[in-house]
Amino acid sequence: MTSTSHPRTYGGWREARSAGLGPLDARQTAVVLAAILIPIFIGFVAGITVTVYLLPVTVLVAAGAIARRDGVLVVAHLRAWARWRWAEWRTHTTYLGSVFTPVGRPWHLPGVLAPTRLLDVADPGRGRIGIVWNQRTGAMSATLMLSPAGALLADTGDVNRRVAGWGALLAGLADDATIRHAALTVELVPEPGTQLTDHVHDRLDPASPALARSVMGELVATAPRTSAQVRTRLTITCDPSIGAATPRQVPDAVAELLRTLGGLAISAAGAEVVARASASDMIRIVRTAYDPASEAVTDGWNDLRWHEASPIHAREGYDLYRHDGAYSASWVLAELPRQQVTHDVLLRLLSPGRHRRRITLLYRTLPRDMAAQLLEREVNAAATREELSRRARRSSTARDRADATRAARAAAEEAAGAGLVQVSLYVTVTVAERAQLAEACREVEQAAGHSRLRLRRAYGGQAAGFAVGLGCGVYPADG
């Protein structure tokens, strides 16, 4: 029986905001007040003439603390540009693989993946699993290859239960103190339009009836000429040192991570675990991301080692990333939908396009005590903004009132047992030629607009944005 109930809508997410004057947060308010009060104080000490000379600087500092571009402070853009230029001057934005460097160096992969090491571990009863160990932070990451159930033809009640199951899975992560964060990645890899034709042609029986051959020929002729592989994977990153009385050795840390994976209720969220990614799977994921041409290679992945997953050459630009003859551009989430949305809001972004695309949702679940304190601060900050507006005899904006309502609702839901999740989203598109990059970027931005998301280019952080979806435990907020 098909359910006739209306689809549920979801929302309530909000950006963390501290108390400040009007639409400003605490940091902006402090900068603006400092830019105003310091020249006044200097004027009392050194005279009004000095204050007049400092006035242009005051205006620039205050404007930099208020002005935004793509939802980000102009000061933050300038800082990112300055850091990237400094790294470029020191040649830290260029990477040469082991082909051009002495063998045996400690760091094999580029950028944020440099401190990682791949462990090939036996998982009793499940074969072998590849665990990415970050030797700098001690974090360990394991990846599950998923087969999600489709929702387009599913019953409304089933879809609602799957969404609730996914929410329960995320909330349950907060109960495991060792889990740092989780990353859900959907990778869309276009395939040549002749794949279906070749597949059917190789399987046609010459002795089959002419009508059957004619029907198959018409189906192939009318089928879409392009297709894509859709790969879904979930990466769990743990810090085994949390909660341990003494530092855990590597075997104990691996065992802790395997126990965490065994307790995940994936099937309730509408997906089945196809396999736990092995070491060769992880090498293939990383290598094909850096060198899309290696996608056609089917054999020999078991013979490769971790350092051979790195690119031969990679160069990070301010707004793009060049690697082994391919070009990539990455975006980071700037704003989630302001309105309530249905479960299929991301459908356009997750639909195959003309170019290789990787979408990664990053989740960080906060412990119960930390979540309660954070939400309490958010409610207090909203109340402080409202009080400041009242004292300034300025009516609060509709956005401020809606934000205060969402903050109070989130605190009430957490008090009733709900979990608090910090979420972000990264998108990367890869093309074979530089001339194709502009078209690929428009395709991603249009798809994000239809999904009611606002993305911004990861200026000065293209290499890190590229590495987020590779299943290696990269979380940019960790620095």
Which is nearest to 360 in space by CA: 469, 253, 457, 450?
469
> Of the spans 148-152, 229-233, 401-405, 475-479, which averages the highest pLDDT?
229-233
Q: Which residue has the higher pLDDT, 120 or 267?
A: 120
- Contact status, residue 146 vs residue 235, Cβ threshold 8 Å: no
Instruction: Provide the token pair at 253.
Output: 């840390």
From 357, 367, 319, select the one nearest 446 (Cα to Cα): 357
Rounded distance between C-alpha atoms, residue 329 and residue 429, angstroms = 6
Instruction: Please compute the mean of the pLDDT values over residues 89-106 and round it to a whole number.
Output: 69
Predicted local distance difference test score (pLDDT) of residue 119: 93
SS3 at position 96? strand
Q: Who has greater pLDDT, 377 or 233? A: 233
Question: What's the one-letter identity of residue 5?
Answer: S
Instruction: Pick 35 or 320 by higher pLDDT.
Output: 320
CB 177 within 8 A of CB 367: yes
Alpha-carbon distances of 177 from 69, 74, 100, 233, 370, rounded to whole Å: 37, 37, 42, 22, 12
Q: How much is the average pLDDT of 64-89?
A: 80
What pLDDT is stored for residue 120 in this prediction? 92
User: The whole model's pTM is what?
Assistant: 0.84
- CA–chain centroid gap for 408, Å, is 27
pLDDT: which is higher, 113 or 394:
113
Structure tokens at 303: 């013979």
- Please list, in sequence order, all residues whose beta carbon lies within 8 angstroms of the beta carbon of residue 171, skipping any fewer than 6 positions away: 365, 418, 419, 421
What pLDDT does residue 227 have?
Answer: 67
| Residue-level pLDDT at 2 | 47
Instruction: Quote the tokens at residue 264.
Output: 């995940």
Q: Could you give the 3-state DSSP secondary structure of residue 128?
A: strand
Contacts of 102 (CB under 8 A, 6+ apart): none
| DSSP label of 367 | P
| Percentage with pLDDT > 70 across the chain | 88
Instruction: Give the span between the Cα atoms of 151 and 350, in whole angstroms.
Output: 13
Residues 6 or more apart in contact with residue 279 via CB below 8 angstroms: 118, 119, 120, 128, 129, 130, 306
Instruction: Name the β-bridge partners of 454.
Output: 335
What pLDDT does 151 receive? 62
Q: Average pLDDT for residues 325-341, to the nearest whole number? A: 90
Other CB atoms within a 10 A radius of the CB of residue 329 amount to: 23
pLDDT band for position 392 (cuts 50, 70, 90): low
Contact 176, 256 (CB under 8 A): no
Q: What confidence tens digit (pLDDT) does each residue in 180-232 have?
A: 899 999 999 887 655 666 667 777 888 888 888 888 888 777 765 556 788 99
Token look-up 């675990």 returns 273
Considering 115-119, 292-296, 426-430, the range whose residues carry the highest mean pLDDT is: 426-430
How far is residue 337's CA from residue 458's CA, in Å, rounded to a whole number?
20
- Measured in degrees and rounded to the nearest 5, phi and psi for residue 162 equal -65, -40
pLDDT attached to residue 109: 86
For residue 39, pLDDT over 60 is answered with yes
Residue 126: per-residue pLDDT: 79
pLDDT at residue 278, as a whole number:
92
Are 362 and 424 a contacting pair, CB within 8 Å? yes
Ranges of beta strands (E only) in 243-355 are 271-276, 313-316, 321-323, 326-335
324 in Cβ contact with 313 (< 8 Å) = yes
* Chain length of the chain: 479
pLDDT of 104 above 60: no
CA 207/CA 388 separation, integer angstroms: 84
Cα dihedral 363, 367, 370, 373 in deg (nearest 10): 90
Token output for 280: 């060769």
In angstroms, the CA 326 to CA 467 distance is 15
Residue % of the chain over a pLDDT of 90: 28
> Worst-scoring range by mean pLDDT, 28-42, 180-194, 259-273?
28-42
- Highest mean pLDDT range out of 101-110, 302-311, 407-416? 302-311
| DSSP result, 434-463 | GGGHHHHHHHHHHHHHHTT-EEEE-TT-HH
Q: Give the number of other Cβ atoms within 10 Å of residue 263's Cβ.
A: 9
Confidence of residue 1 (pLDDT cuts 50, 70, 90): very low
Determine the straight-line distance between the first and last CA of the chain, rounded to whole angstroms.
Answer: 51
User: What are the start-end ranges of the E strands in 149-243?
Assistant: 179-191, 227-238
Cα–Cα distance measured from residue 304 to residue 318, given in angstroms and rounded to the nearest whole number: 32
Q: Indicate whether 68 pLDDT > 90.
A: no
Comparing 416 with 353, the larger pLDDT belongs to 353
Query: Which pair of structure tokens corresponds to residue 387?
Result: 């009080």
Q: How far is CA 266 from CA 162, 206, 234, 362, 366, in A?
A: 10, 45, 10, 17, 20
* Amino acid (1-letter code) at residue 244: A
Give me the chain's average pLDDT, please: 82
Q: What is residue 457's predicted lDDT score, i.e. its pLDDT?
A: 92
